[in-house]
Amino acid sequence: MHDLDVTGKPTGETATLDEFDSLLILADIANENDTQAADSRTLACLLLMHHVQKEILDKRKEQAVMKFRSSLTKNNSSLQLHERGKIQFYDGISYNIRPPISEILDVRTRRLLQVADCEGYAYGYVMSNQIVSSAIAQVAQDRRMNSVLGEILSANGNEIYIRDISRYIEVGKDTTKELRTMSFWDIALRARQH
């Protein structure tokens, strides 16, 4: 893979798939006539990425074994092979093998992802058309949802934190009647002040 600068021009450097923190495959609907054709290209790209990642991992595994064998003759050290999720560790060096996330346009393609599961390789996918149509349906039913969805899906992003209610009020047998009858908005105000 060739690195590109912000304008899309090659920088002259190359990168391999294990050098990225995340991989995202976007559907190319502009160059295809229908969603199934776009999904077919996305699936082909996904399988190709899996194949390349597997080759990289096998090559690194082979290098680690060779390093281990050469170190046996020198100092009898041991090589530990660990697997934590999708990050592989060989002799203390980590290699990132991350499954890509794909944009899928057709609901029927989702079943193909389950069939294409290569050796436990968990594929992630986003049903972009379904998300957009759900948002449009919510706004059509209630126009006030537009501001809510606009806030949630904004480029700045939003986060939701779930905290224990005991951070804001005393909970237990000794709780006063006043605290037991507090409304949601009273507790929300306390949380905001906290």
- What is the residue extent of each domain of the chain? 2-160, 161-194
Question: H helices of 15-78, where?
Answer: 35-75
pLDDT band at 95 (very low <50, low <70, confident <90, very high): low
Q: Are β-strands 10-14 and 2-4 bridged in parallel, bridged antiparallel, or unpaired?
A: antiparallel
Residue 84 has a pLDDT of 42
Helix, strand, coil % in the chain, rounded to nearest 5 = 50, 15, 35
User: Is pLDDT above 70 for 82?
Assistant: no
Residue 92 has a pLDDT of 53
Residue 122 has a pLDDT of 57
Average pLDDT over residues 19-27: 80
Q: How many CB atoms lie within 10 A of CB 86?
A: 15
Average pLDDT over residues 171-184: 72
pTM value? 0.55
Average pLDDT over residues 107-131: 71
Most confident of 63-67, 160-164, 188-192: 188-192
